[in-house]
Amino acid sequence: MKTLLAIAAGGAVGALARHFFAAQVMRWMGTGFPWGIFAANILGSFLMGIVVQVFMHLSEPMPSLRAFIAVGVLGAFTTFSTYSLDIVLLMERGQWGLALVYALASVGLAVVGLMAGMALMRLVFA
């Protein structure tokens, strides 16, 4: 239960951080490209790399803190950070082909899924 509360609290922090961060980036860069989410995805992936290495080197695991930061905060800030971590873990295990398939299929099928959902709702509301 403690871990679930840590994830929920971190999720709230991460979602709010993404909202304000993305909005600020859009103010700086303009609205012609989704700079806010683009920057959040890159920053979140960078931070996930830091978090993973820090927790690997801690003498005490601290699972609730790891869940708060990695799953909660960064998971809500961007799921792209977790996606990036999954790809790197596959590559580190020598599963380069699977990493490539996962990377391309995740993006491609997510876009197809979004388009299918939009098409379905357009039919429903037509």
The phi and psi torsions of 30 (rounded to 5 degrees) equal 95, 175
Q: Is 75 annotated as a binding residue?
A: yes
Q: Are 19 and 37 in contact (CB under 8 A)?
A: no
Q: Is 78 annotated as a binding residue?
A: yes
Q: How many CB atoms lie within 10 A of CB 30?
A: 9
Q: Which two tokens stand for residue 46?
A: 């960078």
Q: Which two tokens stand for residue 101?
A: 């398939």
Alpha-carbon separation of residue 107 from 69, 81, 83, 112, 113 (angstroms) = 24, 13, 10, 9, 10
Q: Which residues are part of a known binding site? A: 75, 78
Q: What are the binding residues for Na(+)?
A: 75, 78
